[in-house]
Amino acid sequence: MTEGTATFSSAAIPGPSGSPGLATPTSSVTPPNSAGPVSSSTATALAPGAGGSVTTTPTHSSTTTPSQSRQIPLTCAGHTRPVVQLQFSSFTLDNNYLLISACKDGMPILRDGITGDWVGTFLGHKGAVWSAKLNRDTSRAITASADFSAKLWDTYTGQELLSFPHRHIVRTADFINDTHVVTGGTEKMLRIFDLDHAGGNSGQCDIPALELEGHQGAIKHVSWDRTRSQILSAGDDKQINVWDLRTPSPVHSYQLDDPITHMDLSADGEFVMGAAGKTIHFWDASSRQLVKSYTMPYEVSSVSIHPHHHTFVAGGSSDLWVHVYDFETGRELEVYKGHHGPIHTVSYSPDGEIYATGSEDGTIRLWQTTPGKIYGLWQPRRA
């Protein structure tokens, strides 16, 4: 494949509302509780005893014996190095959703969010990809890379539409109302690019970006708050900044005690989530007041809250477990073992039925919120 394209198979399925088709893969998957393979997927399921066990426990301080149950995740192969960011899309017009992954192998992958089926691999970066996100209608993707660039992609064709050059490593990027892109990285500044006026014959963005300075360390996370029309940014300087585009300086800052390992908004925009050291914080995004704060017995790398706000899932850089907690009390509800390396990223699906985890082991695993429920490739056991 030539540079700046994505690897797609020749088969295609209709895109939303008459859009170009998304390609389907030609490999196979053995889904949970199945006697044999079915077509069109690269996702595989862990068999019981192959790292798919789950232990249900009360709070960390409890001395009661945890009960035992089973959770069999789907394992999505395809990456060759650590998976560092996952993002589920919003629902598409056909009531489906997608999953995009960023990986140190430099090749972001787009998948069907429900089944984990491979859709395409974007080729064009020459270094690790630290961030990958989809726009609202899933027609575009933005990626941030160690090759000193961010890239805009057409998700239906896999074509690279634009490249945004930087002077150093780009760690994070997001869309602003599908008309602009915001990036952050080692340069300690935000850059905002206007997509309507960024095109050039060379494929390189030739319009100067708006630059915002306010961080003292590398910026590793940016999120667009569409409800309040603000940008949130976080990084190594232990603070989350809130930016109003009408002013050149942050309008608010959340101060933390450790370098921030994760920052994002809840799917509905109600909460700002932040992880630093062993502590997870949830703030009300409107009042900016702290709502919940929980200290864990491990270094937290990522956190995601269920769309209905009753649970949240967390992964750590110092263990191999996936932890599910009650949001109101912080009680640990479930602990899953499946990955063979630390967990770098977690994310709930838009309907809350599943969540995805990405690990140092190079795999993505899809877990059910309600184990045993019929959903996607999870089907009843055959007699």
Maximum distance among all alpha carbons in the chain? 66
Q: What is the pLDDT of residue 225?
A: 97
Query: In this prediction, what percent of the chain has a pLDDT beyond 70?
Result: 80
Q: Using one digit for the tens of pLDDT, what is the confidence trace for 213-247?
A: 999 999 999 999 999 999 999 989 999 999 998 88
Structural domain includes residue 31: no
What does the pLDDT read at residue 311? 98
The reply to whether 153 falls in a domain is: yes
Residue 126 lies in a domain: yes
Please state whether beta strands 239-244 and 109-112 pair in parallel, antiparallel, or not at all (unpaired).
Answer: unpaired
Q: What are 177-193's pLDDT values in tens digits?
A: 999 999 999 999 999 99
Q: 301 in a domain, yes or no?
A: yes
What does pLDDT average to over the chain?
A: 84
Task: Tell me if 30 is assigned to some domain.
Answer: no
pLDDT at 45: 33
Per-residue model confidence (pLDDT) at position 143: 98
Identify whether 154 is part of a domain. Answer: yes
Identity of the residue numbered 188: K
Residue 377 placed within a domain: no
pTM over 0.75: yes
The CATH number for 279's domain is: 2.130.10.10
- Tally of residues, the chain: 383
DSSP letter, residue 204: B
Please state the domain count of the chain: 1
Residue/partner pairs of 279-284 with CB below 8 Å, 24 or more apart: 280/312, 280/314, 281/254, 281/256, 282/312, 282/327, 283/254
Residue 57 located in a structural domain: yes
Residue identified by tokens 């940014």 is 233
Domain extent at residue 289: 53-368
Per-residue model confidence (pLDDT) at position 247: 85
Which of these, 367, 362, 365, lies nearest to 107 by C-alpha position? 362
Mean pLDDT, rounded, for 14-35: 35
Per-residue pLDDT, 16: 35
Burial letters 240-269, b for 16+ CB under 10 A, else e: bbbbeeeeeebeebbebeebbbbbbbbbee
Under a CB-based contact definition with an 8 Å cutoff, are residues 144 and 170 in contact?
yes
Q: Which of 108, 116, 112, 87 minimizes the C-alpha distance to 15?
A: 112
Q: In a 10 Å sphere around its CB, with 0-12 CB exposed, 13-18 middle and 19+ buried, how is residue 330 labelled?
A: middle
